[in-house]
Chain A
Amino acid sequence: MIHFVLLISRQGKVRLTKWYSPYSQKERSKVIRELSSEILSRGPKLCNFVEWRGFKVVYKSDQDDNELETLSIIHHYVETLDRYFGSVCELDLIFNFHKAYFILDEILLAGEMQETSKRTTLRLIAAQEELLEAAKEEASSLSSIIAQATK
């Protein structure tokens, strides 16, 4: 299984963290610190795998996970983000970090692959956003009623 997903900018800023195994707050920041310095210092042509504390990382996975597949999962996630935001950039992820999380939650669950169709993933996200919109409209109509009533 995948133990955690980290999204770290080239400058070393954390943009998304998702932990599928229990780590204390202290361990989490240690992992992030150590890994980001290790990975960001690697050149562009080197392989995507780093061995770190007995685990294989860019992603972190079990010993018996298929590294190439995990790499494909990362691609898959990025492509889904791409479709959602329309060619995703770092700013999208900074200001809409929660949406990046919601999308990840539709692709991975319990550290395992949940959905391999990008279309299905995005359809589910869209359906939930409709629910949000509906709730917002309801709330605003409610608050305008209250506002009028208290005038």
Chain B
Amino acid sequence: MDPILNPFSSGTRLRDMIRAIRACKTAAEERAAIRKECAAIRTSINENDPDYRHRNLAKLMFIHMLGYPTHFGQMECLKCIASPGFPEKRIGYLGLMLLLDERQEVLMLVTNSLKQDLNHMNQYIVGLALCALGNICSAEMARDLAPEVERLLQFRDPNIRKKAALCSIRIIKKVPDLAENFVKPATALLKEKHHGVLITAVQLCADLCKVSREALEHIRKKCTEGLVRTLKDLANSSYSPEYDVSGITDPFLHIRLLKLLRLLGEGDADASDSMNDILAQVGTKTESNKVAANAILYECVQTIMSIEGNGGLRVLAIGILGKFLSNRDNNIRYVALNMLMKAVTADPQAVLRYRATILECVKDADASIRKRALELVYVLVNESNVKPLTTELVSYLETCDQDFKGDLTAKICSIVSKFSPEKIWYIDQMIKVLLEAGSFVKDEVWRALIVVISNASELHGYAVRALYKAFQKSNEQEAFTRVAIWCIGEYGDLLINNVGMLDLEDRITVTESDAVDLIEITIQCHALDFTTKAMALVALLKLSSRFPSCSERIREIIVKYKGNFVLELQQRSIEFNSIIARHQNIRSMLVERMPVLDEATFIGRQAGSLPDAGSISAGSSVSLPNGVAKPADSLVDLLDLNSNDAPAPSSSGGDFLQDLLGVDLSPAAQSGANQTSKSGTDALLDLLSVGSVSGPVESPSAQSNSSAIDILSASKSEKASVSPLDDLSSLSLSSRTTSITGAAPMMDLLDGFASTPPKSENNGTVYPSITAFESSSLQLTFNFSKQPGNSQTTNIQATFINLSSDEYTDFIFQAAVPKFLQLQLDPASGSTLPANGNGSITQNFRVTNSQNGKKSLVMRIRITYKINGKEKLEEGQISNFPRDL
């Protein structure tokens, strides 16, 4: 049809359309122009005019790149591909790759055309088909067309052989079963001289090794020597203009060869041995001032670090990275940091030598480098260097960019809490961080600081004085303000009287009214939110009892909030006012020092409530913010509870329970403990004879009944290491577990005595355990129990057992559930899973089913771990849950 007669035919040329679109001044204009153009193209498509197909498709691709929908052009691609001419096919295949991806069903329709084109007389058409297949083929297409591709690996023209080789990579990635068919032809290609064929063959072999153990063994046996020779010839080759990149012949081929050698050398001493010489040569002879040369060195270092050990080569490799670190090119420093990160597991001492340089990189202007360096510092920290490293990082906190402060703060807090050698140092560092970057400190972190302070009775005075001094200088950081106010309210008397002075402290003189002044100023500050103000009101109330002489003044401050528009403040103000004015007799009792917060409980709660603790770092390294408390310390703390002047929680039921436990519990507790920790029995006996029972066991009584579950999860999360504390908490755990299932008679007794039995309602149903997931290497079982008083929520304990003969490290379990379910994961008991079922990892989580009774639980899981540093992934869906959960 004549384009002039039809105003809507795609009369405009591609060039004109691009020009018209570029001339648009606003986004709206552009949209309008494209709408018009698309309408024209659609009309033309409907007219099914083959003359314009080519042009329409080109236009659609341009429109597609601008981000507009172009699905209506998909069938046109197929028509172009099916047409006989080379120009149509070429644009058709280009469109196919651009407008479609492997998940679209339309793609299946093209399989036949592809098959024909793979057998076409014209080698360029064969090339087009291979290219398209290699870029977007699906598993089905891979299966259907694999024989054609396999045959083309021996095609007369090398340019087709190389395309076929890469296409084979896609095919074996999609369908690993097909790998064995490709091993022979692939290794045959390794003997070729044509660089294009050689490099693609090397890549194909590397991918074959990755998907098939047999292929790896075969290639290792037959080809290692040849590959070493090829690399040697390449490294020694004279200047060749065609492949030269800044003085090096074909760096790309160098790199691919090194990569394949790495796969062959890993875990095989003989193969590693045969490549030592060439690696040493590449590592020493490559001149390193250009990107290409450094890329080769970088690859060489990676290969050296991965193959079976050779001390001399490792020294060479770390030396190369050291040189990289001092390079002025940011790209080079970036990869050096990256590589050191991998080297750190093999040889931390060697990496530590570059500590100073790495710390400099944390302060770099480039965000990518800073981030890498900080990650590296983070893994380098240990007990012996935590102090100097933290000092460096904290001092950098003062000067660093705002947008880096968040990352840096999180890392410092985590380091400090994990490795802190003593509590006083922890408190000092946290105060510094709070002062400098309080707004970046997460709520649970500053709360953890309060817990730690409250647990360190000998440091109460020190902490409150340190906070007071710092508070006088700055009150800009709200998180800091909260901690300071809490401590001043709690330990105000220690502040005034300089109780418990440490040798390193300077004596300060603070009068009672100074302390009240400070809080008064704070509470008047408009910038603070009402939670902080509420904390200030509580602090004032406490001070009114600690400082009787200021009582009246404090009352006046409190009374001002009687009309506050925040209900919470208003109510507190009225209540506190009446306590001070009219209930003097009970006031001192009301505001006694807080009972020591149980650290284990705190962590357990926190781990349960962290929204991402489960999904991201499911347990391997949830940073428990009280790392300060070394197991031994915390045991002392727990024992201290009794000697502390703070009154232990004294609900009568609780006391009764304690007495009962103190006298009678040992047999029951032991039997409980035997179920969970075999080795714990002795330690437990010791502990019990010391009379330390009160520690963990009283905490349930201090909590309201519903928090029994918190205790459970708390003790689980602490189970990672064998320590007295753990045994203590597993004691409380096991006694609880038994009580829930109602198995131990001892617990029935307890139920009888406890003022409110929380678990009786659940004694009826016992859910059978299930094997949720099982593969040749891993078994996962679920145990179920119901949360008291909440039929929707199920507690699940997952137990992982390693069935293989390799140890798994970095074990992480992740789970996902549909919308009607809610999932909360606690940290796992560990991240290392011993081989041959010699131990297990357990992880607790809770699932709340909002459709309880109507729908059953269902869950998708994903488990990752490493075997000898190699990552493994297992996934699955669990739908065999007991029905009424």
Contact = CB atoms under 8 A, between A and B. Distances in A.
B170 interface: yes
Contacts of A131: 86-87, 122, 124
Given A94-B22, A98-B58, A69 B295 contact: yes
Contacts of B458: none
Range, interface on chain B: 35 or more
Contacts of A40: none
Given A47-B334, A136-B87, A116 B166 contact: no
Contacts of A109: 130-131, 134-135, 163, 166-167
B166 A110 contact: yes
Contact of B169 (A48, A112, A117): A112
B366 interface: yes
Given A49-B331, A68-B295, A76-B245, A116 B252 contact: yes
Nearest to A118: B242
A116 B291 contact: no
A112 B67 contact: no
A83 interface: no
A45 B330 contact: yes
B245 A69 contact: no
Interface residues of A, number: 54
A109 B97 CA distance: 11
A68 B162 contact: no
A84 to B, nearest CB: 16
Contact of A22 (B103, B333, B371): B103
A114 B124 contact: no
A120 B90 CA distance: 19
Contact of B368 (A51, A97, A117): A51
Contacts of A112: 166, 169, 200, 203
Nearest to A71: B291
A117 B196 contact: yes
A14 B65 contact: yes
Contacts of A95: 15, 18
B176 to A, nearest CB: 15
A135 B85 CA distance: 7
A101 B131 CA distance: 12
A55 interface: no
B298 interface: yes
B159 A72 contact: no
Q: What does DSSP make chain B's interface, helix, strand, loop or mixed?
A: helix
Given A22-B103, A66-B255, A67-B334, A47 B299 contact: no
A25 B806 CA distance: 42
A16 interface: yes
A73 B291 CA distance: 11
Contacts of A75: 291
Interface string B115-140: 00000001010010011001110000
A18 B135 CA distance: 9
B715 to A, nearest CB: 33
Nearest to A134: B86
A46 interface: yes
A66 to B, nearest CB: 5
B61 interface: yes
A102 to B, nearest CB: 7
Interface string B357-400: 00000000111110110000000000000000000000000000
Interface in B150-190: 159, 162-163, 166-167, 169-170
B58 A110 contact: no
B61 A110 contact: no
Contacts of B200: 112-114
B91 to A, nearest CB: 7
A105 B131 contact: yes
Nearest to B88: A135
A50 interface: yes
A14 B67 contact: yes
B102 interface: yes
Interface string A125-142: 001100110011000000
Interface string A28-40: 0100100000000
A135 B87 contact: yes
Contacts of A115: 159, 162, 195-196, 199
B101 interface: yes
Contacts of B122: 131
A17 B61 CA distance: 10
A24 interface: yes
A119 B330 contact: no
Contacts of B159: 115, 120, 124
B331 A71 contact: yes
A98 B14 CA distance: 11
B435 to A, nearest CB: 30
B475 interface: no
Interface string A59-96: 00000001111011101100000000000000000110
B252 A113 contact: yes
Contacts of A101: 94, 98
Contacts of A97: 61-62, 65
A25 to B, nearest CB: 7
A15 B18 CA distance: 12
Given A15-B65, A117-B195, A124-B159, A46 B366 contact: yes
Contacts of A127: 124
A45 B330 CA distance: 8
Given A22-B102, A113-B252, A114-B196, A66 B203 contact: no
B252 A68 contact: no
Q: Which of A94, A116, A128 has the most CB of B within 10 A?
A: A116
Given A69-B298, A105-B131, A128-B124, 5 more contacts: A18-B98, A45-B330, A109-B131, A110-B166, A110-B167
Interface of B: 15, 18, 22, 58, 61-62, 65-67, 69, 85-87, 90-91, 94, 97-98, 101-103, 122, 124, 127, 130-131, 134-136, 159, 162-163, 166-167, 169-170, 195-196, 199-200, 203, 242-243, 245, 250-253, 255-256, 259, 291-292, 294-295, 298-299, 302, 329-335, 338, 365-369, 371-372
14 contacts: A16-B65, A22-B101, A66-B299, A67-B334, A68-B332, A72-B295, A73-B252, A95-B18, A109-B135, A112-B200, A114-B163, A115-B162, A120-B196, A132-B86
Q: Which are the 10 A-B pairs with shortest beta-carbon distances? A: A47-B330, A68-B295, A110-B134, A109-B166, A46-B366, A110-B170, A69-B295, A115-B196, A22-B101, A47-B331
